[in-house]
Amino acid sequence: MVVRKIFRFAFPVLAITAGAFFLSGCRGRHCGWNSGPEQKADWIVKRIAKELDLRPEQKTKLDKIKVDILARKADFQAVHAGLSELAMGQLRAASVDQAKLNQGLEDREAKIKELRGFLVAEFTEFHDVLDSAQREKLASKLERHCR
């Protein structure tokens, strides 16, 4: 429950950074449930570039942001991966080791805080790439999608 609350507040920044995902559903043949993160990220970057009419230097910076986020993919997966093993190990044990459970959750919270800082920095970089008209256009599209 605590981890859900943390995820609920820590990862909206990632959602904003990858805002094009919310511009519309993934309807392309390379952006479905069965495609990998790289294909989805490529689709998102293409969609952002098209929708916001990005200049070549803006596209280059957006590609760098995409590469940086994909490079941390293992960190995002690691936060989620060990949680079920930790819970199942405690569930199957004769008694709950509260210290071990708390330490495992604290380790996750520390990693989530680190990733949140990374995502905020990437969001700031993305924000700085866009001009005011592009930011307003993206914000209005996201507002329409979130309704």
Provide the token pair at 86.
């930790």
In a 3-state reduction of DSSP, which class is residue 35?
A: coil
Provide the token pair at 46.
């293409």
Percent of the chain whose pLDDT exceeds 70: 77
State pTM to two decimals.
0.68
Please state the domain count of the chain: 1
**H helices within 53-97, ranges in order?**
56-71, 73-92
CB half-sphere exposure, 36, CA atoms < 13 A: 3
The Cα 29–Cα 47 span in angstroms is 14
Token pair 């043949």 is at which residue?
29
Provide the token pair at 117.
């800082």
pLDDT, position 31: 53
State pLDDT tens for residues 44-57: 999 999 999 999 99
Provide the token pair at 115.
């990733």
State pLDDT tens for residues 57-97: 999 999 999 999 999 998 888 888 778 888 888 899 899 99
Q: How many CB atoms lie within 10 A of CB 102?
A: 10
Select from 67, 48, 70 the least CA-distant residue to 58. Answer: 48
Provide the token pair at 82.
């060990």
Show the domain range for 48.
Answer: 2-146
Is it the case that residue 137 has pLDDT exceeding 90? yes
The Cα 53–Cα 55 span in angstroms is 7
State pLDDT tens for residues 22-68: 444 555 555 556 678 889 999 999 999 999 999 999 999 999 999 99
